[in-house]
Amino acid sequence: MIYFNNVSKVYKDAVALDDVTVAITAGEFVSIVGHSGAGKTTLTKMILADENPSDGTVFFESTNVHKLKSKELTKLRRRIGVVFQDFKLLPNKTAYENIAFAMEAVGKSDEEIASDVPHVLELVDLSHRMHHFPTELSGGEQQRLAIARAIINQPELIIADEPTGNLDPINTHEIVQILKKINDLGATVILATHNRGVIDAIGKRVITMENGKIIRDSKHHT
């Protein structure tokens, strides 16, 4: 589904990615682990074409993502749901409206919104918080809402960049369980984190990065 072919990214005097070749197949749950600055975020941004490689090619299925015109890129990005560390919720919209807004943005009908939003809120266990604003939600609830928003348009791929970075262990565990559930429902999940405990709890493939290189790729993490 995603293939990095000898991808490097060099900023003025820093190497963010150093000749990375890696394949991620549809339906996988892959954790990318490494210290801050190891190249995890650059790697995930490449998939969205938010960053261009200095060298090498990034494919989404058989498409070179950095060759896409803006309209095609928009289409591609709709197939990907992104979850950030800092939630990026709309503060003046309720939980329900935050998700509805993401559906309106891709032209979904009012009927679809009315049927899908409660369903996804239930999936992330926020049905009872539907009419609350982000400021009225805990950090864990805000992140669950951000995940709900990322998956509402049924993307094939979810990229979660340090989604538990600001959360305590209990909320972290809940977020991980939700990501696993999404993966079980068929989406590919890429989780970038520096939290080893999170990865041990998942028990799936782990790619370890250091100084822009992949130093370990364990397919069957036990």
pLDDT at 161: 93
Query: CATH for 2-218?
Result: 3.40.50.300
**What does the domain layout of the chain look like in residue ranges?**
2-218
pLDDT at 221: 47
pLDDT at 86: 86
**How many other C-beta atoms lie within 10 A of the C-beta of residue 115?**
10
Q: Where do the H-state alpha helices sit in 21-61? A: 40-47
pLDDT at 4: 96
- What's this model's pTM, rounded to 2 decimal places? 0.93
Contact between 196 and 36 under an 8 Å Cβ cutoff? The reply is: no
pLDDT at 157: 97
Two structure tokens written together for 53: 């490689």
Residue 90's φ and ψ, nearest 5 degrees, are: -85, 115
pLDDT at 222: 44
pLDDT at 2: 96
pLDDT at 220: 58
Number of helices and strands in the chain (H, E): 7, 10
Residues of the chain with confidence (pLDDT) below 70: 220-222
Q: Where are the beta strands (DSSP E) in the chain?
A: 2-11, 14-24, 29-33, 55-60, 63-64, 80-83, 157-161, 188-193, 205-210, 213-218
pLDDT at 156: 96
Give the C-alpha separation, 99 to 89, whole Å.
Answer: 9
**How many other C-beta atoms lie within 10 A of the C-beta of residue 19?**
15
